Homo-oligomer: A and B are copies of this chain.
Amino acid sequence: MTLGELAGLYGCELDGDSGAVVDRVATLSGAGPGAVSFLANPHFRSQLQDTRAAAVVLEERHRADCPVASLVSSNPYATYARIAAFLHPPRDFEPGVHATATIAADALVAESACIGPNVVIGSASVVGEGAMLGAGSVIGADVRIGAASRLLARVTLLDGVSVGARCVIHPGVVVGSDGFGFAEDDGEWVKVPQLGGVTIGDDVEIGANTTIDRGTIENTVIEDGAKLDNLVQIAHNVRVGAHTVMAAMSGAAGSTRIGRRCKVGGGVVMINHLEICDDVMFTFRSVVTKSVREPGVYGGSLPAEQAQRWRRSAARFRQLDALAERLRAIEQTGISARADGNGPQGQDNG
């Protein structure tokens, strides 16, 4: 592939030898001849001047600083992503069913699909054209897997789960486990049957060991283009809007509805029955306890500090109500009556 061909395919302006041949991508610092690199995060700008890449995908404003060929793009990261996918296509798989797979007689598996070793597919399930079910995956009954979706390995889709087209599901993912529903009865718990399913749209990606519970009565829903990272928890009846991303270790409790194009940071959790509107961003490790009706950025974590300093702040936090009352007392009564050195500072031990 030449730089000229890449520029044509991906709509870049090329500054450099259009006949130069490239065959891979690399980081700015790790690149050598034949490699395409990119500059998207200003964090790495200092690495541009020393790069030995064949070409760098970058914005117009960095073009003058590039010592090698430039592929100029208004969105270098997305353009880089497309070039990388082109130069490094995923490993091909052979269509067909592995001899060790166990497939129900009434399941429908497309001829172009690839069913790996020890895969189990239950009754009346349907696997679409070009789908890939990696080794050890367990598919229940009445499951639908859309065309060209890939379950890397050891994925579990329980009864009644539906997955759209072109999804990528990483190992250890469980979809369709029972929601956490129990009715208290005299100090014990009666299980509430979890009778709904899970509907996953097209172009969804789900990270390793993420769990998505089935709905209680109606379905849990992950809309088109949503991306969930590793170890994410989606409880029963949740709806994740289209093109929303949820970073690792985040979670949504029962019946919460997250809008479209939201960005949920790592470790963020949302309590149940919330409504989050479209285009909301929650920063790292926030605890979301109220519905959000205005797009924007919301935050809620306190950064770690040197422990001794942290402990002082944390101790004062426990005194906050008393501190506020003391402040109010000064405002109301004037300081003269309290300036005898007695009493109030004793509250610091509270």
Interface residues of A (CB under 8 A from B): 25-27, 30, 40, 43, 75, 77-78, 80-82, 84-85, 88, 90-91, 98, 100, 102, 116-118, 120, 134-136, 138, 140-141, 152-154, 156, 158-159, 168, 170-172, 174, 177-178, 180-185, 187-193, 195, 205, 207-209, 211, 213, 217-218, 225, 227, 229-231, 233, 235, 243, 245, 247-249, 251, 253, 261, 266-269, 271, 273, 282-290, 294, 296-321, 323-324, 326-328, 330-336, 338-339, 341, 344-345, 348
Contact = CB atoms under 8 A, between A and B. Distances in A.
Given A120-B116, A271-B266, A316-B324, A180 B193 contact: no
Contacts of A190: 78, 81-82
Nearest to A140: B153
A98 B100 CA distance: 13
A233 B245 contact: no
Contacts of A304: 268, 282, 286-289, 298-300
B136 A120 contact: yes
A321 B327 contact: no
A227 B189 contact: yes
Nearest to A319: B324
Please give the count of copies of this chain that the complex contains: 3
Contacts of A245: 180, 182, 189
A284 B271 contact: yes
Contact of A177 (B207, B218, B301): B207
A271 B248 CA distance: 11
Given A135-B138, A211-B208, A331-B339, A307 B298 contact: yes
